[in-house]
Amino acid sequence: MKQASAISTILRTYVVQNENMNSVGVAPADFVIQPDISKFGITELARADEMAEIGKAKTRELISKLRELLCVIDPLSLSELSRNHQ
């Protein structure tokens, strides 16, 4: 088994801390887009474009659900948003 470097360990600690903070901060959110980027290592910043594409795909997948929720909150704003993006 490969031993983790000190930097990798520090970064992993940061990720765990963020996960804990996000569980508190995201919990009250009405809508969260959370793409699965678990296949990427914490130090794979060179693959950020791939991660961004996964995020874009997840957003496209969920956009209709977001629009439904927005319509419930404020139907007028949603119609304005739809008009501006045509």
- Provide CB contacts within 8 A for 6, sequence distance 6+: none
Q: State the pLDDT at residue 36.
A: 93
Q: State the pLDDT at residue 42.
A: 78
pLDDT in tens, the chain (86 residues): 677 678 877 877 877 777 766 666 666 777 888 899 989 987 888 999 999 999 999 999 999 898 888 888 877 766 666 666 65
DSSP state of 4: P
Q: State the pLDDT at residue 84.
A: 62
pTM recorded for the entire structure: 0.58
Q: State the pLDDT at residue 80.
A: 64
Q: Where are the domains of the chain?
A: 6-84
11 close to 43: Cβ distance less than 8 angstroms:
yes
> How many whole angstroms separate alpha carbon 71 and alpha carbon 50?
32
Look-up of token digits 């139907």: 75
Number of alpha carbons in the 13 Å side-chain half-sphere of residue 69: 9
- Provide CB contacts within 8 A for 11, sequence distance 6+: 42, 43
Look-up of token digits 């991660």: 51
